[in-house]
Structure 1
């Protein structure tokens, strides 16, 4: 390990970046995520959270690229997989989004928000009966889902 590669310092920087990110100080959060990545280029949290920051900025391509890089490190991270599928849905890449939600549900069958969004994708694809089935399954588990 090189002297400037301190995992504990990176963890503190990630915590600080998350606090800045949550308070809306995106530029400052980005600087900290980038600083961590300059030392640890395969840092899952830094890649994923920087991807989420880009998503908040509506930079879908950058967000997708960063989340994809994070998923190369941790390919079964449920939140990253869900957020990736959501980006694909938001950019009307419905076939890919559907595969993404299917993967999330294969890993976590009780993820009702993924099932609901899967229904939205199917509806957008004019596959109404399948969409209706998704919505019914969501309501069976979570009757108050709006």
Structure 2
């Protein structure tokens, strides 16, 4: 005589993670504060302070990503302006922004994106589609995604 289970048939449990959207594009910020290469360092510094951000993408008039400017880039300019005894009011960000910008694919899984953050030691990655800036993913966005997935099995 076999042992009988009194539990009903269990519903086949689907992998919870696969049902949850895990793409970078689902968690990226699309309402971005952007800059243009001809903006002055001073106006960028004001925007960073007023918007409580640590940097942002630089785009041209076709909304194509041409660089990234960060607090660090601005601080470097402050330091250099003192060292060379040159005012910085008229300095544009074009010569101070990072031009060779590493981007991230909007279809990338957030776990792979988290790994890319660790390897690259960056605070943010822009997302570009068809040459145009469409969003940005930050370390904080990855944290938010992880908190939404709390309790799911991560496989």
Instruction: Specify if TM > 0.5.
Output: no
Q: Flag the structure with more relative contact order, 1 or 2, with Cα contacts below 8 A and sequence separation at least 6.
A: 2
Higher percent of residues as helix: 1
TM-score, structure 1 length as denominator?
0.22
